[in-house]
Amino acid sequence: MPNQHPGVRLRYGLRRSEVDREVWLIDLSTGERYRAAAAINRALLELGGRWPLVGRACSLKPFHWVEAAGYRWVATHRRWFSRWGVTPACEEPGASYSGG
């Protein structure tokens, strides 16, 4: 769920600076919180097909440090991707924003 929905950050105890910097995944059944590349890996584990294998492989050393570096680069340069038609949901026209 996008963090721009009213009350989402407050409900899950996340600061604006945290959600601006990286993606978060919160497992509602356990309360565990994952951020950045770990959140992507956790999401991959929930998908069918071969995606869980990709998520597990990316969590292993030495792949994890490469994935973490790649994630940081993409997160830092995400505005560049709008040039190729990829716009983050939070920057789409009409996206709601819960201030704070």
What is the distance between the terminal CA atoms of the chain, rounded to a whole angstrom?
17
User: Model's pTM, two decimal places?
Assistant: 0.70
Has residue 100 got a pLDDT over 50?
Answer: no
* H and E: helices and strands count for the chain: 5, 2
* Tokens found for residue 41: 């890996």
In single-letter form, the type of residue at position 86 comes to: V
pLDDT at 97: 53
Least trusted range by pLDDT, from 7-11, 48-52, 96-100: 96-100
Rounded to whole angstroms, the Cα distance separating 70 from 4 reads 25
Number of other CB atoms surrounding residue 96 within 10 Å = 9
Per-residue model confidence (pLDDT) at position 99 = 46
pLDDT digits over 68-99, tens only?
898 889 888 877 776 666 666 666 666 555 44
Q: What is the pLDDT of residue 96?
A: 57
Would you say residue 24 has pLDDT above 90? yes
Q: Which two tokens stand for residue 54?
A: 């990709």
